[in-house]
Every structure is written in C-alpha cells, then in structure tokens.
Amino acid sequence: MADTVGIWRQSDAHDFEATDEELAQARPFSEVFPEWYEEIQRPRGRPKLENAKQVVSIRLDPDAVAKFKAIGKGWHGRINEVLKNAEVG
C-alpha cells in the first residue's frame, strides 16, 4: 500500500496527512479552479439599502414604551413615525 497516486494514498484517500513537500506545492482553490471560484462567489449578508435606518439606543420612560407596545406589533416603527413627524427646533 505504499503506492501513491498524486497526493492521494491508496490506504485511505479521504484521510491522509500531507507531507511538507505536498504542502509546499499547494495552491489556493481560486488559482487552481478560477472558473469555479468565480461561480461560487456571492455577496454576504443583506443587500445594502440606499437609505438604511441607523441603530441608536435611547432611554424612554416605561409608560411611554408601554403605550406603544399596547398597540401591538410594529411599535418600533410607530415610534419612528412619531419622531419623524415631531416638530423639533
């Protein structure tokens, strides 16, 4: 079983330890298979929005939060609408 085929050993082709020589010859997947590498590339995460909302942390009175929560789902958005429509200044 000392025969080798390329870097694969016949004893167990799926479980082998690479030699220093084999590691020295190793190349990145993107170099060896550039077409496949390009095919599997994709953007990560959510697409960026043109006008994304900004994450902030504010402290509100418990009774004010309770009023918005009592209305039901979407209370964060309703607070956003109230603040956008507020006359500040």
What tens-digit pLDDT sequence spans the chain (89 residues)? 455 555 555 556 677 788 999 999 999 999 999 999 998 988 788 888 888 889 999 999 999 999 999 999 999 999 999 999 999 87
Nearest Cα neighbor of 26 from 1, 5, 6, 2 is 6
Q: What is the pLDDT of residue 1?
A: 47
Q: What is the pLDDT of residue 12?
A: 60
**Whole-structure pTM over 0.75, yes or no?**
no
